[in-house]
Structure 1
Amino acid sequence: MSQARLESLRKVIREAFGFFDKLGNATVTQEEVATIMRYLGQFPSEQDVVEVILREIQDDDPSNVVSYDAFEKMMLRCLMEREYDPDDSETLLAAFKVLDPDGKGYIEVDKMKEYLGSGAVGFREKEWAEFYEYAKDRDPNNTNRIYYEDYVAKLTTFVDKHIETLYADAKK
Structure 2
Amino acid sequence: MAPKKAKKKIEGGSNVFSMFEQTQIQEFKEAFTIMDQNRDGFIDKADLRDTFAALGRLNVKNEELEDMVKEAPGPINFTVFLTMFGEKLKGTDPEETILNAFKIFDPEGKGHIKADYIKEMLMTQADRFSQEEVRTFCLTQNWDVSPAFAPL
TM-score by length of 1: 0.36
TM-score by length of 2: 0.39
> Which structure has the larger Rg over C-alpha atoms?
2
> Which structure has more RCO (C-alpha within 8 Å, separation ≥ 6)?
1
Pick the structure with more strand per residue. 1
